[in-house]
Chain A
Amino acid sequence: MHFLKRLAYTPLLLLVISLLAFLMVHAAPGGPFDRERSPASPEIRRQMEAAYHLDEPLWKQWLRYLGLVWEKDQAGHWRHAPASWDISLRYRNHSVGDIITQAFPVSLLLGALAFGFAMGVGLPVGFWSAARRGGWQDQLGSFFALFVVCVPGFAIAPVLILIFAVKWRLLPVALWGSPLHAILPTLALGLYYAGKVARLLREGMLSTMTAEFITAARAKGLSETSLLLKHAFRLAVLPVVSYSGPLIAELLTGSFVIENIFQIPGLGVYFVNSSLNLDYTVTVALAVLYAALLIFLNLAVDFTYTLLDPRVNYE
């Protein structure tokens, strides 16, 4: 019931978010047609703005964005004006839907790979560090986690390219077209999150290991392996689960820096460039998409909590 209620609020929340994004992006000085070259006459500029309804008052543009405008046509009949949310002001032969349907699957794939990598590396490293607390394994694992969290992706990526692509010619330098192209970006994007996951799990494990029920279980004679795996891990992984919501949203909506370095046709580039280019419709659509992803992933995380920890109850 709790989750259904939250789901029911979502459309309203998204509407508010889109309005805020719409107002903010229009508050920026300048417009999408400001360029180094102006058209030959001011009339051309005026007509261009009129063609995209940028000369209308903001409230009307907002209603038009949502498709809530009816206008009289030349014959004097009232007609529904098409919604403007789908028209990109910069990529004028592509709709916003085109941009998202072309770029989102790429970001989805790269994000899924980076997420898999972050979990596939981060969880074992964190678990291993905690299980061998104080030993050389812990030192090594903790150093790895700290190192990759401290060195940003835009510093790791060129080093990876230099070694694997330019020097050894094992992998492609950039672009997106085969499984080989996905390896370096996955590493560059996923390493940071692998470090974060490892640190979260290690800390979770260490604090869980001091809990009374663990001592009790140990006193009962449970083996160390089943203690760590069956009891400590289930609780210690909760911070990782709650972190994975925003993490997935972040990865799925793309990484501007990594996409730019590897020239990957994902969504991250549009996130940044559409706002710099004042491509109003794309900016708002992506803000809503990002918000929707975050809302649903947080819901999913909260739901997963109830499965992992029977003590959690939202009712």
Chain B
Amino acid sequence: MFCVLQGAFVCGCFHRDPPADVTIMNGAEPESLDPAVVTGIPEMRITKALFEGLTRLDAHTARPVPGLAERWDVSPDGRVYTFHLRTNAVWSTGDPITSADVVWSWLRALNPATAGDYAGQLFCIQGAEDYYNGKLKSRGQLGIRAVDAHTLRADLNLPVPFFLDVCAFPALAVVPRTAIEKYGDRWLHAEPLPTSGAFTLGDWRLNSRVRLLRNPRYWDAAHTASGIIDLLPIGSANTALNLYQTGAADIVWDKDLVPFELLDVLMKRPDFHTFDFLGTCFFRFNTTRAPFNDPRVRRAFALATDRRRLVKKLFPTGEKPAFHFVPDSTANYHPPDGLPFDPAQARQLLAAAGFVNGKTFPGVQYAFPAAAGGAGNVQGKIAVELQQMWRDGLGVNVELRQIERKIFYNAQSRLDYDLSASSWVADYDDPNTFLDLFTANSGNNRTGWKNARYDDLIRRADLQTDTARRAEFFRRAEEILVNDEAPIVPLYFFEGFNYFDPEKIEGIWQNALDEHPLQYIRKIRRRASDGGGAPNHP
């Protein structure tokens, strides 16, 4: 009787929805789906499917290709971009998407009240930073203009060669003015919600799922391969693997959702995929505090760090040791060699700085963040390895300190640390996304390190329109960063992971930005007669 009652009660509490065509384990619960506000990769994957920009990233190469703009002209000095919007681009509600929508969306991203972390992505546009700071005298000074209903002109401060990449970034996506003005912060709950991308938002249940439905009015709807895609937030790597194993999920594509302890087993499977990814794991020195205010000490620590041993011991997935900061596969760039592993030279440098055999070296701490819920404690394992290397190579004992994530990043920003674990993932495929970090005024510098020559080289690279000369300026800057001054020590380049069965899922191509537009992903439904449907390529 008791069981029957409980059973009846439970049955009444659930409602059934049609199954999704593809189910994806997407990582953390999205903090927001507002493209002007999102900061995390799981959110960006969804917002890109809902809201498109003037460009989008190619599913194979992650290079920018036409999005809502079907073509563009660039002035010879690389500072004026004229975009020609598609005349067949409409909102999911049927209204046309015009250049006025683009201008409004960009201004909204640049409005401090929107409170977007990535507002800075638009600062390459003339007057944009002043507009954000409220210093612009007239709107006419801002380099964003709707020339006519389908033409938009953007005037840049510098000849930014990656501006088309920036246009594909969520912060510059085109969002629905009517819904936002009507509903404010709750505009994503509008019904119907007008979207400019390949999907509409079917359902967004917190910590449960985001359901995307094919947008039949999308200009490229003919290539949208699936009708319903579910993206599930998952807090535990083991749960994600179990769900995948039992067929409840088709794709797992977040790095934090791979159980670290099972990596060596998983990577032998045909459905486990690894690929080069534009991201670097490194650590920062606090250059405002002794002893790391002395470049000799910093270089000594870099020379005593055996990156090859580190990756060999910790990563069976083939992470590559990093002696420079910008990953090798970055477009149009040849990074410098960086400091090798040389403990003898390291000891010499440390002795020259006044610490013979590490004696009298002050007590310093290596800070690292606590693992996010469910993720393996990789940073902790790296910290232990580094501690051992410096003890063996330099005779220095470094204390390890694990700190809760928010407190850790706050301490890093306030320069309240000695050595601090760090990582950086590219926003776009260009050395600038890495090297701009350590200019004196960058909010992400977080080392206290300032170098006028470095800043000058980055500025000169930014002004350069010739690709080879630009790369050379960047290379010389990076040499200062990783060889001469070493405010940071690169450790390894990230390897991307995902798992899905290529016999069952198609439309995912591996690329350096881990960019997999949802539009092309679909389940292969094999029929006994033909062995599968027609492949769907962009």
Contact = CB atoms under 8 A, between A and B. Distances in A.
Partners in one complex: yes
A47 B404 contact: no
Contact of A98 (B13, B119, B206): B206
Given A30-B410, A41-B441, A263 B236 contact: yes
B409 interface: yes
Given A44-B120, A263-B232, A158 B238 contact: yes
Contact of A179 (B7, B33, B133): B7
B119 A40 contact: yes
B186 A44 contact: no
B410 to A, nearest CB: 3
Given A109-B13, A260-B373, A263-B236, A92 B185 contact: yes
Contact of A47 (B112, B245, B446): B112
Nearest to B111: A47
B10 interface: yes
Interface in A259-282: 260-263, 265-266, 269, 272-273, 276-278
B115 A48 contact: yes
Contacts of B238: 158, 261
A41 B239 contact: no
Most A-side CB within 10 Å, residue of B13, B205, B206, B248: B206
A152 interface: no
A175 interface: yes
A184 B236 CA distance: 17
Contacts of B2: 116, 120
Contact of A30 (B7, B29, B406, B441): B406
B6 interface: yes
Interface string A158-196: 100100011001001111111101100000000000000
Most B-side CB within 10 Å, residue of A38, A116, A117: A38
B180 to A, nearest CB: 11
B118 interface: yes
A6 interface: no
Contact of B232 (A103, A165, A175): A175
Contacts of A52: 115
A240 B442 CA distance: 60
A181 B114 CA distance: 39
A309 interface: no
B243 A32 contact: no
B404 A276 contact: yes
B445 to A, nearest CB: 9
B32 interface: yes
Contacts of A37: 39, 117, 444
A42 B443 contact: yes
B144 interface: no
Nearest to B208: A265
Contact of A48 (B29, B33, B117, B245): B117
B536 to A, nearest CB: 28
Contacts, number: 176
Contact of A92 (B34, B118, B132, B205): B34
Nearest to B23: A175
B20 to A, nearest CB: 11
Interface string A12-28: 00000000000000001
Given A39-B443, A173-B248, A93 B32 contact: yes
Contacts of B6: 113, 116-117
B132 A43 contact: yes
A31 B406 contact: yes
B413 A34 contact: yes
B115 A51 contact: yes
B235 interface: yes
A99 B9 CA distance: 23
B246 A173 contact: yes
Contacts of A181: 14
Contact of B239 (A99, A173, A179): A173
A269 B120 contact: no
A269 B233 CA distance: 12
Given A28-B407, A47-B112, A113-B10, A261 B117 contact: no
A212 to B, nearest CB: 35
A134 interface: no
B16 A178 contact: yes
Given A91-B206, A276-B406, 11 more contacts: A38-B446, A40-B121, A40-B443, A42-B443, A90-B31, A95-B186, A109-B10, A116-B2, A174-B239, A174-B248, A260-B373
9 contacts: A35-B39, A44-B116, A51-B114, A94-B206, A102-B205, A177-B14, A182-B10, A269-B207, A269-B235
Interface of A: 28-45, 47-48, 50-52, 87, 90-95, 98-99, 102-103, 105, 109, 112-113, 116-117, 120, 158, 161, 165-166, 169, 172-179, 181-182, 260-263, 265-266, 269, 272-273, 276-278
**Top 8 nearest A-B pairs by Cβ distance?**
A40-B120, A30-B410, A38-B443, A47-B112, A265-B207, A265-B208, A51-B115, A173-B242
